[in-house]
């Protein structure tokens, strides 16, 4: 129709960041470097991401409030990182990629893997 302006299309996001806060995880799993590395491998297979280099998993923190493993895995399209807090049995995981993936699928898989009781999900689309 004459005189009407077409609605503006939202540009496709350049990347997506999913931040997961998983509470009341199984302490045996979040305190195991092997299990954390296995999580990364299985997560990358699930969402079709190619790992770049080895997954780094390091335990540190003199302050018991923050002590636990931290993890970082470069992926071809960005990175996956996380911290696992011993004191609260919580996992804080970030997945950032310019390749699309389903945040709900990632959240469900992660909660199940770490046997968490509850989860908060934050999704940011980078334009």
In the chain, how many H helices and how many E strands? 3, 6
Residue 3, pLDDT score: 64
Residue 6, pLDDT score: 67
Q: Is the pLDDT of residue 110 over 90?
A: yes
What is the pTM assigned to this prediction?
Answer: 0.88
Query: What is d(CA 36, CA 34) in angstroms, rounded to the nearest whole number?
Result: 5
Residue 59, pLDDT score: 96
Give tens-digit pLDDT for 71-104.
999 999 999 999 999 999 999 999 999 999 999 9
Residue 92, pLDDT score: 98
- Domain 15-126, classified CATH 3.60.90.10, yes or no: yes
**Do 89 and 70 touch, CB atoms closer than 8 A?**
no
Q: Where are the chain's structural domains?
A: 15-126
Give tens-digit pLDDT for 17-76.
999 999 999 999 999 999 999 999 999 999 999 999 999 999 988 888 789 999 999 999
**Do 69 and 57 touch, CB atoms closer than 8 A?**
yes
Query: What is d(CA 51, CA 62) in angstroms, rounded to the nearest whole number?
Result: 30
Residue 2, pLDDT score: 57
**Do 89 and 25 touch, CB atoms closer than 8 A?**
yes
Residue 122, pLDDT score: 98
Please give the structure tokens belonging to residue 54: 């080895």
Residue 66, pLDDT score: 84
């Amino acid at each position: 129709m004459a005189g009407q302006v077409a609605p503006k299309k939202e540009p496709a996001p350049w990347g997506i960041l999913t931040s997961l806060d998983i509470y009341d995880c199984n302490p045996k799993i979040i305190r195991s470097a092997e299990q954390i590395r296995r999580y990364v491998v299985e997560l990358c297979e699930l969402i079709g991401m190619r790992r770049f280099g080895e997954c780094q998993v390091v335990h540190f923190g003199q302050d018991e409030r923050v002590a636990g493993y931290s993890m970082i895995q470069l992926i071809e399209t960005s990175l996956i990182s996380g911290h696992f807090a011993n004191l609260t049995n919580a996992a804080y995981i970030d997945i950032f990629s310019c390749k699309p993936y389903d945040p709900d699928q990632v959240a469900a898989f992660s909660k199940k893997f770490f046997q968490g009781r509850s989860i908060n999900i934050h999704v940011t689309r980078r334009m």
